[in-house]
Structure 1
Amino acid sequence: MGVRGRAAVVVAALTLVSGCSEATPSSSGSTSAPPSSASTVGGPAAVTLTVASTVATGIEVPWGLAFLPDKSALVAERDSGKVKRIAGGQVSEVGTVDDVKSSSEGGLLGLAVDPGYPGKPYIYAYYSGGDDNRIARITYQDGKLSDQQVILEGIPKAAIHNGGRLRFGPDGFLYAGTGDGSDRPNSQDDNSLGGKILRITTDGKAAPGNPDGRVWITKGHRNVQGLAFDGNQLYAAEFGQNTWDELNVITPGSNYGWPAAEGISQLDGMTDPIAQWHTADASPSGIAFAQGHIFMASLRGERLWAIPVADGKRIGEPQAFFTNKYGRLRTVEVAPDGSLWVTTSNTDGRGQPRDGDDRILRVTIGTS
């Protein structure tokens, strides 16, 4: 358990899956908006969010979601290993990623499209194999996947804490969030890829400028499933143990404290988050940046958080949207038209599936 020197709330006794904030009950301590299809965020840059439509239904455990230049999207099914294309409201299968081994939190996870697509006709997939988590480069042409090549392997794997989010940065390099693989010392072990944020080339090598020439740029993470850029500034969402989930501002070379720290701990040499939530209110997976806010999809919290940010700082109070209305929320991405696409995750073994689940919602952003 992390240091809790300044915690204001005592968390309820642990049950179920110890050490996994997707499933571990805890007390609630955050204010949230009432369930509705439209809520208002106050603060420096007030916005309104409205669920405008349902883009797709019947997706099995959607995880990674990435847009192509033609404005269609690819979505990864965690347990089946299938990749599906969504275009014009139609869902079609484009292929299956090889050697995917699913578990309670493992399987086919993040997806990213090469910034040079279609001249460089590749997508990138983060997935759990037999013994480790891997990143592969896969050709995507003529609506089909082919020629899968592993570019990075050896990321610690377990039934839980596999990380999995992929995101290309404005510098053209590929960023990946990993988990500690349910082995806490990995996060502080410089020789382990677990509990890190990676920055690599499209060949899987350490990107130029990484601290000490390593593949990773930050350490001390527990389980990173959310990455988003505001310009050149990277943000990351992280699962806590059983007290605090986190939103972090990422600075290369920094140590984010796990397992010594969970949430704001003010430990020497370690970087604190800019926002924290009780695990029952968040358990954050994907994040996206739009209109001055980080939007954060929450699994156990069953809500979409909006956090106003600027210049790597939080500039207002987080506000919750759609609380308990659509169930577990896994991924949020900014669509080409400026809306948000938000995936539910009610078929992942920890939710309560509803008719049509899992689904992708189209959320529009307005100003109040």
Structure 2
Amino acid sequence: MDRRHFLRATGALAAGFAGCTASQSTGQPTADATPTETVSDLPEAIGLETLASGLRAPLDIAFAPDADRRYVAEQQGVVSVHEADGLRSEPLLDLRDQVTAGGEKGLLGIALHPDFATNRRLFVRYSSPPRQGTPDSYSHTFVLSEFQVSQDGRSVVDGSEQTVLEIPEPQGNHNAGAIVFGADGYLYIGVGDGGAGGDQGRGHVDDWYDRVGGGNGQDVQANLLGSILRIDVDGSDGDQPYAIPDDNPLVDGPGLDEYYAWGFRNPWRLAVDGQDLYAGDVGQNRFEEIDRVVAGGNYGWNVKEGTHCYGADNCPDSTPASVRGGEPLLDPVVEYPHSGAAVSGISVIVGNVYRASAIPGLDGQLVFGDYRTGGDLFVATPQSGDGLWPTAAIPIADGDAGKLSQLLSFGRHEGELYALGIGDGGGGVHRLVAPDG
């Protein structure tokens, strides 16, 4: 095949997110990886207003533009419908007979077309058993598909699935999963490095950096792994059911045209804020990072983990001149260690910039969290120029922390943020509110 073409137990997702214990990292996490300071006027706590509970593993959410309706993607392969009177008994979409779920595999992302109110186009990203063209030794197939939603917004049209993109996945982990439409109308797709640990092993090609073997993150010609892709789902190219934006950075040069940015390990969630694209890239076992993604950006993996060398005491800050002209390895805007700091954890879950007024002091802050919440959510204050952004931890309000012991994802609608995760009531969707509700 050419390039075109949960949880069994909740702990499984955490183990994969947190990376592999057999790591080539050197040294210990430091407490000052990210500037952590008291940012003025932040709320003392954040409350959680529960909208839906009793879910299994809610990993993504999309908001209908023409109704009081939300679509919640659950890892086992179901897209549930939540309306003003609660969850509907019948799902929008049930893919359990064609999704392989467990660990980091499953139904991982959904997105509504920007003109969904008129064209009813729904895009989903899921893990499939190996399809034709996936090598026999590989784990599964990455699938991006499109469905047509009924006019009432409560079901999909039978037989409407159209496969947009398939990618062979060598390992079961590092699948990323987020799909988001940008302000430009193009679809951005997070793709992990292929799994295992250190960007090495089965399905990992050799790259330019000899100090650490493997390197899908640093190779843009052999496959689409370790990247963020950008495609035009409103166009096509022969049998290819999408078009390539003319200004994608590798068009007419060496590399696969779908690439928008590369050097990622596991960009689990993506977020769009105006013209800005953010990726939360889950680290190996020392540092977590959030990147502000630009066209043609190389974000360093597996030469670097965050701002730090991976597998070596010293490492370059750019590729050799012979590799795409010596491009810089771009640093994240947020980094935090796995221990030893107020902002710490094991697997970053990027949220988005808060653009509402319900929580005084939060407007304009980048809100994020970690799979292992520890009773806190995090904020970073956007800065101009280079350097890491100041970060702070904000506790989840008393009485609400138990709702979100494991954070899986965020969503944003009309500037307000929604947290998806697992807690005392099972899987749930919660709106961030002021601590008094």
Gaps of 5+ in 1: 1-15, 32-40, 347-352
CA distance in structure 1 between the partners assigned to 2:378 and 2:14 by the alignment: 25
| 1:267 lines up with 2:326 in the alignment | no
1:218 match: 261
Moved more, 232-241 or 47-56: 47-56
Q: Aligned match of 2:407 in 326, 329, 332?
A: 329
Q: Secondary structure at the match of 2:110?
A: strand
Alpha carbons of 1:30 and 1:297: their partners in 2 closer, same or farther (altered >3 Å)? same
Kept in 2: contact 1:292–1:310 (CA 8 A): no
Describe how 1:229-268 pairs up with structure 2 within 5 A: 229-265=272-308, 267-268=317-318
C-alpha change, 1:310 and 1:71, in structure 2 (3 Å) is farther
Aligned residue type for 1:179: G
Query: 2:217: which partner in 1?
Result: 187
The correspondence for 1:96, drawn from 94, 97, 107, is 94
Q: Which runs of 5+ in 2 are unaligned?
A: 1-11, 131-140, 200-214, 234-240, 252-256, 309-315, 319-327, 355-362
- 1:225–1:365 distance in 2 versus 1, CA, 3 Å: farther
User: Would the aligned equivalents of 2:334 and 2:389 in 1 still touch at CA under 8 Å?
Assistant: no
Q: Is 1:22–1:300's contact at 8 Å kept on the other side of the alignment?
A: no
What is the percent sequence identity of the aligned residues? 26
CA distance in 2, matches of 1:205, 1:300: 39
Moved over 4 A (4+): 16-19, 23-31, 310-315
CA contact (8 A) 1:99 1:130 kept: yes
Larger Rg: 2
The whole-number CA distance in structure 1 between the counterparts of 2:226 and 2:242 is 18
Distance 1:155 1:205, change over 3 A: farther
1:169 lines up with 2:182 in the alignment: yes
Deviates more, 1:52-61 or 1:313-322: 313-322
Q: What does residue 358 of structure 1 align with?
A: 427
What amino acid maps onto 1:96 in structure 2?
D
1:137 to 2:146 alignment: yes
1:270 aligned counterpart, secondary structure? coil
Kindly tell me the number of residue pairs found equivalent between the two proteins: 332
| Residue number among 366, 369, 382 corresponding to 1:309 in the alignment | 382
Residues of 1 paired with 2:250 and 2:434: CA distance?
41
- What SS does the corresponding residue of 2:161 show, helix, strand or coil? strand
**8 Å CA contact 1:205, 1:215 repeated in 2:** no
TM-score by length of 2: 0.69
* Distance in 1 (alpha carbons) for counterparts of 2:40 and 2:216: 39
Deviation at 1:116, TM superposition (A): 0.3
After TM superposition, list the pairs within 5 Å mapping 1:57-72 onto structure 2: 57-69=53-65, 70-72=67-69
Residue 284 of structure 1 aligns to which amino acid in structure 2? Answer: V
Q: Deviations over 1:297-328 (max 9, x none)?
A: 32134442211215576553233432964201
2-structure distance, mates of 1:82, 1:312: 42
Match of 2:82 among 86, 89, 94: 86
The answer (yes or no) to whether the contact 1:17–1:24 under 8 Å persists in 2 is no
Amino acid at match of 1:272: D
Alpha-carbon separation, structure 2, partners of 1:334 and 1:365:
16
Counterpart CA distance in 2 for 1:176 and 1:321 is 31
Amino acid of the residue matched to residue 136 of structure 1?
A: S
What corresponds to 2:210 in structure 1? none
CA root-mean-square deviation:
2.9
Question: Which position in structure 2 is the counterpart of 1:116?
Answer: 115
Q: Residues 57-110 of structure 1, C-alpha deviation per residue, up to 9 Å, x if partnerless? A: 11111111110111311011112x111011114112112136211120011011
Note if 1:285 corresponds to 2:349: yes
> Are the equivalent residues in 1 in contact too, given 2:411–2:419 (CA < 8 A)?
yes
Q: Distance in 2 between matches of 1:295 and 1:120?
A: 32
Moved more, 166-175 or 203-212: 203-212
Question: CA 1:316–1:150 in structure 2 vs 1: closer, same or farther (change >3 Å)?
Answer: same
Structure that is richer in strand per residue: 1
> AA paired with 2:242?
G
More off after superposition, 68-77 vs 312-321: 312-321
119 and 157 in structure 1: CA distance in 2 versus 1, 3 angstrom threshold = farther
Distance 2:16 2:127 in 1: 18
Q: Kindly state the Cα deviation for residue 30 of structure 1 after the two structures are TM-superposed.
A: 5.8
